[in-house]
Structure formats: C-alpha cells, structure tokens
Amino acid sequence: MVELETAVVGQPRRLPWLAATVAAKIPETPEATTVLFDVPGWPGHRPGQHVDVRLTAEDGYQAQRSYSIASPPEASQLALTVQRLGDGEVSPYLTDEVRPGDLIELRGPIGGYFTWTVADGGPLLLVAGGSGVAPLMAMVRHRAAAGGGPPATLLYSSRSWDEIIFRDELAGLVVADDGLAVVHTLTRSQPPGWTGYGRRVDAAMLGEVFGPPTAGAVAYACGPTPLVERAATDLLALGYAPDRIRTERFGPSGG
C-alpha cells in the first residue's frame, strides 16, 4: 500500500538528514576552506543546488545553515566551500574545528531554481561575489567534466588577489578550454602591475565582459545581496530577459 500511494503522488520527499563524514579539508584562501564529505546515500545533485547543514551541541542545541555545493555531479565526494564568519555559529566550526573522520548531518540536494546543466544550453554568464562563487564553480566544473558545452564567462568579484577562491583551478580550466573565460575584479586592493578591473561590478563592466544579449544566453548571479541586485538590474538594462537571469543572495551573512 505504501508503494502504491507513493506511485500515485509522484515523488514526495521529505528530505532525510544524512550522516556525512569529513574526508578532507582544503584551505582555499585565508578565510575560505573547502570541506570534502563522503555521504552514503547521496542521491546526486544538479550544479547550483545546496544542502542544509545541521550541527547539534552536547546540550541538544541545534544550528542549521545552507551551503551551496561546489562539486559537480560527476565528483564522488560532496564539496562545501565555506567562508569563515567571525561571529558565525556554523562556519567557524566547519572551517576550523572539523577534522577528517568527523560526522555531521546534512540534507539535500535543495533548490530547483538556481541550477544549470549543459543540457540547459547557453551562453552561460556567471557573476560571483566572494564565496558566492561556490555554486557557480559547480556549474563550471560540471561543464568541464561534461567535455565543454556552451561558451561560459565568469565575472568574479573578490576583495583582493589572495581572496580569490579557486584561483589556480580557474586559471587552469581557462588554459585548457577556449570556451571558458574568467574575468576578475578586485575591489579593495590590487597586486602591483594589476591591469584588470579594480572596482565593484557595474553596468559598464557587465556590458564589456558579457556584451549584448545573444540567443540562449542565461545568467546566474550569486554573492552578497548588493552585488546580486546590482547585477540583475544592470543585466536587465542591457537587454537580458528577466526569466534568463537567476539570482542567489549568498551572505556574507548566515554564519
């Protein structure tokens, strides 16, 4: 009977909490760390989706946060890239405290709006601010794992050169793939000899980097709320269709 009811209503799913084992930690920048998890029973995900992470203290107090998945569906381990927030409840634990072998609870994948696969086509336009690059990195990695796909351009705003998450990996992907472009803007400090952008994302920058809308173009912006809203507004003004611009406000909040 249970099976019959399930068949009738499609795929109801109360997302179960899964036990995830910390497999490794990768320092990315002074403030961001990638935590790799082995998650038995993980059902797979689409690039752009996130998980809820739940921590339980010894006295039963629980704290829960959402983190975007940075790994592509093709990867065997789930990667969460976490920006350490000094007054946060959860992020300092993930960046500083957890060790390989530790267990945490997570559930997912969550989200059907801010997702992209190569089957969705392109050109793919990505705007990232800080650790908001994580879900966009899942898209870039998925595109590479799939052997290319539509042209993709990532405009990535960081405070400084040292705070660019995935800097070397992105550079390597660009070298290996004519269809991928990555443009950095450094908003607070620039290294000597820097010839790239040195200001916050604005309409002129979006126009220069992405050009006018082309057929099939789809844009994803993820980062702090001001950057995301600015990018969405400016892309609309440049002529991009509202239903082809997807946004995710990613902190620096949330802890």
Partner 1 sequence: MERSGNETDRRLDGNAAGGLLAEAFCVEMTTAVVVCAGCGAEAVVAELLRYGHEMGAILRCAGCDTAVVRIARTGDRLWLDLRGAVNLRVSAAP
Residues in contact with partner 1 by the rule CB under 8 A: 10-15, 50-52, 55, 57, 61, 63, 66, 87-90, 92-93, 107-108, 110-114, 225, 246-251, 253-255
Judge contact between 251 and 128, C-beta under 8 A.
Answer: no
Nearer to partner 1, 107 or 167 (CB): 107
Q: How far is the CB of 131 from partner 1 (least distance, A)?
A: 13
How far is the C-alpha of 125 from the C-alpha of 136, rounded, in Å?
10
How far is the C-alpha of 204 from the C-alpha of 201, rounded, in Å?
8
Q: How far is the CB of 196 from partner 1 (least distance, A)?
A: 29
Q: How far is the CB of 99 from partner 1 (least distance, A)?
A: 15
Cis-peptide into 16, omega within 30 deg: no
SS3 assignment, position 89: coil
Q: How far is the CB of 28 from partner 1 (least distance, A)?
A: 21
Nearer to partner 1, 19 or 204 (CB): 19
Judge contact between 35 and 79, C-beta under 8 A.
Answer: yes
Nearer to partner 1, 150 or 254 (CB): 254
Cis-peptide into 252, omega within 30 deg: yes
Nearer to partner 1, 81 or 184 (CB): 81
Q: How far is the CB of 14 from partner 1 (least distance, A)?
A: 6
Nearer to partner 1, 128 or 182 (CB): 128
How far is the C-alpha of 106 from the C-alpha of 67, rounded, in Å?
10
Q: What angle do CA 124, 48, 235 make, to 5 degrees?
A: 40
